[in-house]
Amino acid sequence: GQNIDQPTEMTATEGAIVQINCTYQTSGFNGLFWYQQHAGEAPTFLSYNVLDGLEEKGRFSSFLSRSKGYSYLLLKELQMKDSASYLCAVLDSNYQLIWGAGTKLIIKP
Amino acid sequence: GAGVSQSPSNKVTEKGKDVELRCDPISGHTALYWYRQRLGQGLEFLIYFQGNSAPDKSGLPSDRFSAERTGESVSTLTIQRTQQEDSAVYLCASSKRGGGAVGQLFFGEGSRLTVL
């Protein structure tokens, strides 16, 4: 079966750095995506990794290791508005998106 | 329009009634998805349309659920004889054709369904 694992909930402090991990086991791989979803809102696209390595976009970075079936989303200089759920998703060999259950990130002042 | 548009934004219905939810994707986006999200839960895949190919209906939870899409435009999700367990936010998303772009989804604001 296909599976994506990520922690259910994480807590971090405003101004700090947090790393949200995602491991996957899928039928093939055509890319990994991170989405942000604020409470009561729809998910929005954050990042896309298809090759190994780090992709940086402002305060957010995403890393991929295909050999390990592993990714992480790194958030720097945390702000209260970063409190949200972060969803990891993998595009499999049939170009179907497989979704993780999401990680709820709580930012404390 | 500029984004994915869904209607109605909120729907309250009585158990046993039928409901129809509408999604208008971004112009030019060939892929269209429907997801269900219960309160505090993750995304539950329902159905996927890609251009004129046969839709992937593997996520529809029962035969009370059906969806249609005309070409690469509007889609409707119909739930017949609604049950209280159908209460959730129904999210529609669209994406472009081609490689990894297929996975970059643009979501609508969702239709919140409450079945009394």
> Could you tell me if A89 lies within 8 Å of chain B, comparing CB atoms?
yes
Of A30, A33, A96, nearest to B104 by CB-CB distance is A33
User: Does the CA dihedral B53-A31-A83-A2 come out positive or negative?
Assistant: positive
Q: What is the pLDDT of residue B71?
A: 81
Rounded-to-integer distance, Cα B101 and Cα A11, Å:
32
Bridge partners (DSSP) listed for residue A72: A21, A63
pLDDT band at B1 (very low <50, low <70, confident <90, very high): low
Give the pLDDT confidence of B35-76 residue by residue, as tens digits.
999 988 889 999 999 888 889 999 999 999 999 998 888 999
> Is the CB of residue A4 less than 8 Å from the CB of residue A20?
no
Q: What percent of chain B has pLDDT over 70?
A: 99
Chain B residues touching residue A41 (CB < 8 angstroms): 109
> Could you tell me if A80 lies within 8 Å of chain B, comparing CB atoms?
no
Q: What is the pLDDT of residue A13?
A: 97
Give the pLDDT confidence of B80-91 residue by residue, as tens digits.
999 999 999 999
> Could you tell me if A96 lies within 8 Å of chain B, comparing CB atoms?
yes
Distance from CA of A84 to the nearest CA of B (A): 12
Rounded-to-integer distance, Cα A86 and Cα A108, Å:
17
Give every residue of chain A whose pLDDT is below 50, as ranges.
Answer: none
Rounded-to-integer distance, Cα B19 and Cα B7, Å:
11
> Could you tell me if A42 lies within 8 Å of chain B, comparing CB atoms?
yes
Rounded-to-integer distance, Cα B33 and Cα A24, Å:
22
Q: What is the pLDDT of residue B100?
A: 75
- Residue in chain B closest to A96 (alpha carbons) equals B103
Give the pLDDT confidence of B90-111 residue by residue, as tens digits.
999 999 877 777 889 999 999 9
Q: What is the pLDDT of residue B92?
A: 97
Substitution target from B105, B106, B109, B112 for chain A, most A beta carbons within 10 A = B105
